[in-house]
A and B are shown apart, each in its own frame.
Chain A
Amino acid sequence: MKGRSIALAGALLIVIAIASVAIWHLIAPRTTSPQTTKEASINGAGATFPFPLYDRWISEYCKARPNVKINYQPIGSGGGIRAHIEKTVHFAASDAPLSEEQFQRAPGTLHVPMTIGGVVVVYNLPDAPRGLDFTGEVLAKIFLGEVKRWSDPAIVALNPGARLPDEEIVVVHRSDSSGTTYVFTDYLSTVSREWEERVGRGVAVKWPAPRAIGAKGNDGVAATVQQTPYSIGYVELAYAMKTGMPYGRLMNAAGEYVEPSIESVKKAVEYAAVELPRGNESWSNVSIVRSLARSTQARGAYPIVSFSYIMVYKELSTLPGMDEATARALVDFLWWCVHEGQNYAAELYYVPLPSRVVRLNEDTLKMITFNGQKVLRS
């Protein structure tokens, strides 16, 4: 009796499974078959950092073009890169370029830097001045836990006259994997040999300071720093500006203290853009932070800066479910983002691309083909 009903239940399950597979097969071809109308639906996924900007771009772009639907899912840079390699999206976004090995696995990838982020050092010192000065080495020592107190001679020497309390420093870092952490640790690794050897660069690292707490997201770090007296942390430029919390000035390779701002970040990219590769080459070694650390001429350039990228394939017909109308719409959208879209950046506290990078992106987008035919004709 019992055995029979279990067997029956199993049979029912199998029937349900077969039925659902059959139904899926009936429905599936309809959704992937090329559309006869000129409607285009574009799918993208990836980084969370540029999501507010991309979201704005998509809504502004689609407002004027009701036959184009664009869907962007902020699943994270890692997920974006995976989706790009597996060709499950039409475009992918990531705060980091493809590594050499990933670039081999996704041949024909084009990198299009879309916007720029800057990382700002924020702190919470009751009745201490705003705009404390830091050098990269001192910052690395603080985050290594070697400079333990605000009254440490290393900090005092950089800020003569500032009232620095004799309190222990609490280091606040991102607990989640993030492009922000990558850029910040890239900077610390570039300016400090010890940091590079003990910690290194990555989206998540092993934080060595004994008095360190991790907070989730830029908003989490901002909130934790604001709440924790004598703490220091790092956030995206946008969060430092929106919250109005005190932030530090950083010394650049030209030997001057630079305040983080949209202008100083844009200036940094202008200097670094000289050595950028072409869109169809590997970008794995691109680091604005590292090229700024070398350029002693980069006056007024803020040193902790990075791109956020969109990645597409050069030959779009290799993507499953891609048709010519969609390919056209995708390239048109990216072209719009690189030009008109940049006007929306500043109000959302993103840094617009300097003209040299815009021209580089124009060349990159002109390379895109569909079945061997150039998508953009100009």
Chain B
Amino acid sequence: MPDVKEEKAKPFDPFEPFREMRDAYLDAMSKTMVEAVNSESYAQASGAMLDWSLTASGPFREAMEKSMLQAMQQLSLPSRQEIAALAERFTNLELRVDDMDAKLDRVLNLLVQMRSSPPAEQTESHERPAGIPG
């Protein structure tokens, strides 16, 4: 009885009887395909296919870009290039802010060092530079 229950509980998989056959077939296929993709002829064929698809799609892509650009201009909306240029400018701004952050860190470190060093070694001017928190 328990055996029957176990058998019933086992989920049905129509591919079960074919699994060994499938695995053997996939192994054989795998070896063949790995050899195929490693060949010069595959490299040549895939390169040619890519080249052909880029050549064929080029005119459509350019036409699409032109018409899109015109549509954007007519709608007074920024083009892709303009958005990209703006993003580049933002990145440059971020770089400047990061530079300032680094400089501020150095200044703060110097201040901490000055405070922790004995008074005799400190320079005469103890005034905190303007805008730098204490």
A binds B: no
